[in-house]
């Protein structure tokens, strides 16, 4: 059963740009730990996601002509992390005060019935009753477990692994939310997928290796326009928080363990070296919170 985290969660506080009009609080649910080679270079997933938001804040600041070191508005972005694999979840009080929640990726499969995955699904289902205005983000495993919690399915992909930077062809809805871009490039590390978008969600984009690369659900208000500020849930199959070094370290580990073949590892390393739009996607996440 999901229980509130009685220990102090890991916390990061970042200065928001001059244009920010309020503080923002995001709860980060960690569904895994990075491999040791990644921790040694980039820290935990708390550190890696904090880095993504920090880079997104810098991009937001430069959009308005701010010089480096002058982006602070006095308002803060606070990120509190919880290890849901070990059964740690935010309390109802923390949920009531939060603006958003992000569920991380994981080496675990979202279609399995491990107790912590079932607890996480129950927690997701209860969120609207705890804080109806909370915005939910899901990355890779997070994308898949949210789909499952909302009545969809997750399964092993018949197309196999998708690793490295891949080009996502955006739908009309995806282009609408991602500033008109017809394509985005984002790091991948998955062989599970969501085969169809659950009811109530719109598809964001697809690749040759994965039909459902993200989905969106808007606030339940008939008069509310379908803008990024009115997004209630947004998920991505890819990893905007990853970089080529992280992906290559995971490729090396999985090849050494025989999880992927040498041929797939070599092909994936080539993809991993390509440019990705991860930082810009981090900036787009901030738009959901009016930043």
Catalytic residue numbers, as ranges: 140, 239, 241
> CA dihedral defined by 173, 79, 53, 161, rounded to 10 degrees?
-60
User: Which residues, at least 6 apart from 23, have a Cβ–Cβ distance to it below 8 Å?
Assistant: 16, 75, 76, 77, 78
The tokens describing 100, both together, are: 């958003």
The CA distance from 24 to 64, in Å, is 19
Neighbouring-strand partners of residue 206: 169
What are the Cα distances from residue 54, in Å, to 13, 148, 254, 287? 10, 30, 29, 14
Can you tell me the distance from the alpha carbon of 106 to that of 245, in angstroms, rounded to the nearest whole number?
Answer: 18
Cβ pair 103, 29 in contact under 8 A? yes
Measured from the Cβ of residue 217, the count of other Cβ atoms closer than 10 Å reads 19
Q: Which residue, 238, 26, 235, 239, is CA-closest to 148?
A: 235
């Amino acid at each position: 059963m999901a229980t509130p985290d009685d220990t102090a969660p890991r916390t990061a506080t970042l200065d928001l740009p001059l244009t920010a009009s309020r503080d923002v609080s995001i709860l980060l649910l960690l569904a895994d730990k990075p491999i040791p080679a990644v921790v040694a270079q980039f820290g935990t997933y708390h550190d890696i996601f904090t880095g993504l938001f920090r880079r997104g804040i810098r991009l937001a600041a430069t959009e308005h002509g701010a010089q480096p070191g002058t982006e602070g508005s006095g308002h803060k972005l606070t990120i509190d992390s919880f290890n849901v694999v070990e059964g740690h979840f935010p309390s109802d009080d923390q949920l009531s005060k939060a603006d958003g929640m992000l569920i991380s990726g994981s080496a675990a499969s979202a279609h399995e019935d491990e107790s912590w995955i079932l607890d996480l699904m129950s927690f997701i289902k209860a969120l609207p009753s705890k804080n109806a205005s909370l915005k939910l983000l899901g990355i890779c495993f997070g994308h898949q477990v949210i789909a499952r919690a909302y009545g969809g399915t997750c399964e092993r992909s018949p197309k196999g692994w998708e690793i490295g930077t891949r080009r996502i062809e955006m739908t009309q809805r995806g282009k609408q939310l991602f500033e008109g871009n017809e394509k985005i490039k984002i790091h991948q590390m998955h062989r599970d997928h969501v085969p169809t978008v659950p009811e109530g969600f719109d598809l964001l984009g697809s690749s040759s290796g994965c039909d459902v690369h993200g989905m969106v659900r808007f606030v339940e208000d008939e008069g509310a326009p379908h803008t990024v500020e009115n997004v209630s849930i947004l998920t991505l199959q890819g990893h905007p928080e990853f970089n080529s070094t992280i992906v290559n370290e995971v490729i090396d580990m999985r090849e050494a363990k025989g999880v992927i073949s040498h041929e797939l590892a070599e092909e994936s390393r080539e993809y991993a070296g390509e440019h990705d739009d991860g930082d810009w996607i981090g900036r787009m996440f901030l738009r959901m919170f009016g930043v």
